[in-house]
Structure 1
């Protein structure tokens, strides 16, 4: 929408503000300036603003000027003259049956003698991309862009009526507001005004019009500008009459008006003082300085919110203007208005630091840990769709009723099938790293025909250069024990309490059991929970039939799939640590090696307990360095190394004598 800089200065004195500063402040206040048009021929500048949906009340100069009074804290240069019918008794001179008209004023103006618009009026219209026509038309457009009011002007000469009985004029909702036409009502001349198309401005007069009917009105179609219209109506009406009489030299007859009483039911909001302060944050670089109550009240008054403050409850109560109810409905809206008018640049622009962290579920925590563990040991993540074409579809499979394609006619009951396809594609593309995994959902039906969803982890392990004995030796392929060790390493990091079982029990031949169709029956093993003995997953060697066309180097590939939810239940998290933490001693140690004979069934823990019985403070640790068992005599000999060290001093001669005596006593025992 385009606004004239000259017309804006008519309402508010902007001489102390440069045009550049005005545009900058306008942008900071939330009004996007799309373009600035220079018109040296009319000595004016046109500002093209992008009016957002929440500020649709800014559609004329007076409304923009009132917004500028809040932003720049400057007063209007004119006095608004609100309508006063609510305070005076006015006789109804005509019948008003339309529910859309809230206030209407009609009178005739005769003997118009001039139809040419003055130059300044034409310049204002040209600046707003409105083509000047003739005086009455130009006055209509000028009042519309300046005050936001629409003036209806009708040609009396076309009606062929010498006099009008206004007591018979009926304002109805079923006739045409944009023209006065003669109708018959109770055998009398009646003129009807319609409210169905009040936004149209088709003229019913031409340049030769000398007698007109002037109709000014307020309707309730645009409720957002309703009370703003009451405040500016008289100003728009007076200027319309002044322009017509000044440049047309007409004679104005008595006016007739009618109105509907409106109850001004204003919306009110209550906002806590701390809510405003802590939402906007501190001012400048001072962390503990916030907006004062005085500054908040001053800003709310600039916004015409008529605020009041309760010192006992520390609450601001504000009244929302009627024309702002469409975009100010929450406390945060008012806080944003305070920040916008006061200036967001004055507030500290740093995000607050919160020491409290959000909560995460146990399942999400361990899924993230599994994901990070696999990435850390060199796996690559694969992501596949849950829609697939199940080759193995039994009673557990879920078919889609109306699939888009035959390749996606079912919901997957395992992740293994998708990973095998990913693996085959990687080999064909000569990818060196083929260790891949996926964590995703599977879907199945149980024996009760109930639909279930579970989270599974599946992975493929294969490496032709897994280990090397020496730097000059050839690399060795991944073996069964290597692959199983990788899976065990993952489970150890998770602290999963599991056990291995070569046989699959008949009761467990369900979803995990179906994955065995992809594995070599002679090289597979199952993962069970140690506590509940519940099947968790399966590990084994992939059948050759799935990789026969890409197996050019006799590749051995291993596959595993685990139920993540069952796996998490086996994890026992130790909240207490049994280790004793103490600093290292900086003093030298003394070691003694002793060889003792014990029976085959002697307990080494009992032997350590006997050794530590006396010099516990000086003995740092005990270790077995050798062991020999005589099958004939059935006597076991072990060699123990005892390390003596003091944490606070160097061991002296007396300490060494005591240590030797201690060793002799141990040998005697």
Structure 2
């Protein structure tokens, strides 16, 4: 985009700023200057050619650039923007059949006696800077191009001198919207059409045009790339001034339509510590950070109204910056840009402390080692996947703009990935396929995307067991696959139970993979929640795998980690080993069916902890006729300082007999 130094000074005074300083500051603030050349049409003027990025489209006109320069150099504009409050006054003098969801405000003028004379020299010189050549020196075209370059706004002019109606009343024009176009209708006939997706000016007039319609719409932000609400009044008055003064025309009273609602400004909250953590220190040797007053001063320079309370900045985003200031990091980048990146230390801060590995990471490392020792090999797959090849899932999480067809959605389980790994291994003629993967799965809850860490595996082995060395090897069976999972849980010291799976939405999505008979859930012994499942792949999928007796499992890792019984030293009882001989006695106890033998053993241990070394159940008999249990207990006694005699044993047994009698 090209800009004239003289025309830029019309909006902002840059006399005290050298061209070199101007170039350095713009480059440091993210605007690449491609060329600086002399203006061949105006003496003492230079043309600055800037490369404007797509996220700063509000700077692609003279006024936008002047606003940005005023922010960078902390200078005031020579002219202020007019108050936009009049736009919020509800008016509706245009007769509409339908509402206008795309237009929030518009003005229609009837222009008569327009004299399409030659374009003034200053306007021609202005347009030549941007290589805008008017056909036949057409004044209307020159005014259109000037407003577009100066303000970045498109005005629409349409010839009405061919309308055979002397009593043409522009107040009776109706606005009709249809997809990506807006029709202006008069007496049930379309006068002209505005194409919203057309970047070129699509006005309709000729050199001899002297009667025309001026249409100036203010589109809602949802349908345009930039919101002109702050500068619309300035654009309007300059357009009217150029048409009336240069064209010597008569401008009728305006027909207006307004449906602008006052929208609460978008706010972003920023913690002061977060800003300083991102930007770092202002000094290499001392920890000097941004003060709250300095941050407020920069935010004011950026025209961002803000409040500071409890070490939190509440920043209001203006309407013309909502497209590029949407996150906390965007505000911090603007603060650093205006304060100047050169004021921050570019050196990497010295290491204050060594980070620690989290507890969950250590447990996951242990899990991988255990699974490797059990014979399973780890695989790693992408979280992006294709639509399920076996069956379409009901709730897929599709990407808006996938890079590849094979990566068009996020996976909701890991089972499909390990099955595809299994197929690839079969193609490579591998007979022992025991794989596992630890990775993230994704799901939606209350329309919010969430993620979990899961463990999944597939077990298939045609040479798992032999009866004798000269027999053929046997395939892995159900109980052997179940034993591998149990061994994994036992090594992690996790208490669990096998249980029939109740109705579960996550399991229902992949239920078609399993054989109906061979499927079981893994439940926690602490809260009775489903941790995972183990199942046998059904015959239909096995035909695709070309293998039978293939077992798969998937486990919620966070649920698994929460159920690990962490051993602590305080739970262990430490006492000196006795060198004296033990005394063993067997006793028989009769208990009713409702009594618990474990409670009885606990009571006996609590009473005689000093001498009682162990209690073991060696036999149980249940009498169905009288409904009681006959239990034989073996008690082992041992003292730490002497050999127990018969008197000691009889005394202890007498007290145990009393406990048993009271228990019954």
Q: TM-score, normalised by structure 2?
A: 0.53
Q: Which residue of 2 aligns with 1:208?
A: 208
Cα shift at 1:10: 1.9
Secondary structure at the counterpart of residue 276 of structure 1 = helix
Structure 2 CA distance, aligned partners of 1:57 and 1:241?
23
Structure 1 CA distance, aligned partners of 2:315 and 2:302?
10
Give the root-mean-square deviation of aligned CA atoms: 4.2
Check 1:338–1:287 CA distance in 2 against 1; reply closer, same or farther (3 A cut): same
Residue 355 of structure 2 is aligned to residue 357 of structure 1: yes
Check 1:109–1:299 CA distance in 2 against 1; reply closer, same or farther (3 A cut): same
Q: Which residue of 2 aligns with 1:56?
A: 57
Residue 166 of structure 2 is aligned to residue 151 of structure 1: no
Structure 1 CA distance, aligned partners of 2:340 and 2:311?
23
| 1:178-577 equivalence runs, <5 A | 183-184=187-188, 191=191, 194=194, 196=196, 199-220=199-220, 227=227, 229-310=228-309, 313-354=310-351, 355-357=353-355, 359=357, 401=423, 409-410=428-429, 445-446=460-461
- When Rg is computed on C-alpha atoms for both structures, the one with the higher figure is 1
Structure 2 CA distance, aligned partners of 1:280 and 1:175?
46
Structure 2 CA distance, aligned partners of 1:402 and 1:364?
26
Q: Which residue of 1 aligns with 2:86?
A: 85
Cα shift at 1:506: 6.4
Cα offsets for 1:187-209 (capped at 9, x unmatched)? xxx85765655644123111111
Structure 1 CA distance, aligned partners of 2:255 and 2:306?
38
Q: Is the 8 A contact 1:36 1:45 kept in 2?
A: yes
Secondary structure at the counterpart of residue 157 of structure 1 = coil
Structure 1 CA distance, aligned partners of 2:150 and 2:276?
38
Q: Is the 8 A contact 1:172 1:194 kept in 2?
A: no
Check 1:399–1:183 CA distance in 2 against 1; reply closer, same or farther (3 A cut): closer
Q: Is the 8 A contact 2:113 2:249 kept in 1?
A: yes
Structure 2 CA distance, aligned partners of 1:218 and 1:20?
38
Cα shift at 1:413: 7.1
Cα shift at 1:171: 0.8
Structure 2 CA distance, aligned partners of 1:100 and 1:167?
20
Cα shift at 1:400: 7.4
Structure 1 CA distance, aligned partners of 2:60 and 2:421?
59
Secondary structure at the counterpart of residue 231 of structure 2 = helix
Cα shift at 1:72: 0.9
Check 1:308–1:237 CA distance in 2 against 1; reply closer, same or farther (3 A cut): same
Structure 1 CA distance, aligned partners of 2:267 and 2:131?
40
Structure 1 CA distance, aligned partners of 2:29 and 2:192?
45
Check 1:277–1:268 CA distance in 2 against 1; reply closer, same or farther (3 A cut): same
Which of residues 95, 100, 112 in structure 2 aligns to 1:110?
112
- Structure 2 stretches lacking a partner, 5+ long: 369-419, 434-457, 474-490, 492-664
Q: Is the 8 A contact 1:115 1:135 kept in 2?
A: yes
Cα shift at 1:233: 1.1
| 1:133-144 equivalence runs, <5 A | 133=135, 134-144=138-148
Structure 2 CA distance, aligned partners of 1:49 and 1:358?
48
Task: Give the number of equivalent residue pairs.
Answer: 397
| 1:614-653 equivalence runs, <5 A | none
Q: Is the 8 A contact 2:173 2:184 kept in 1?
A: no
Q: Is the 8 A contact 1:4 1:127 kept in 2?
A: yes
Q: Which residue of 2 aligns with 1:16?
A: 16
| 1:89-100 equivalence runs, <5 A | 90=91, 92-95=93-96, 97-100=99-102
Cα shift at 1:104: 0.9
Q: Is the 8 A contact 2:113 2:211 kept in 1?
A: yes
Q: Which residue of 2 aligns with 1:663?
A: none
Secondary structure at the counterpart of residue 317 of structure 1 = strand
Check 1:358–1:2 CA distance in 2 against 1; reply closer, same or farther (3 A cut): farther
Structure 2 CA distance, aligned partners of 1:449 and 1:164?
94
Q: Is the 8 A contact 1:400 1:411 kept in 2?
A: no
Q: TM-score, normalised by structure 1?
A: 0.52
Q: Is the 8 A contact 1:277 1:291 kept in 2?
A: yes
Q: Is the 8 A contact 1:46 1:128 kept in 2?
A: no
Which of residues 117, 120, 123 in structure 1 aligns to 2:122?
120
Cα shift at 1:136: 0.4
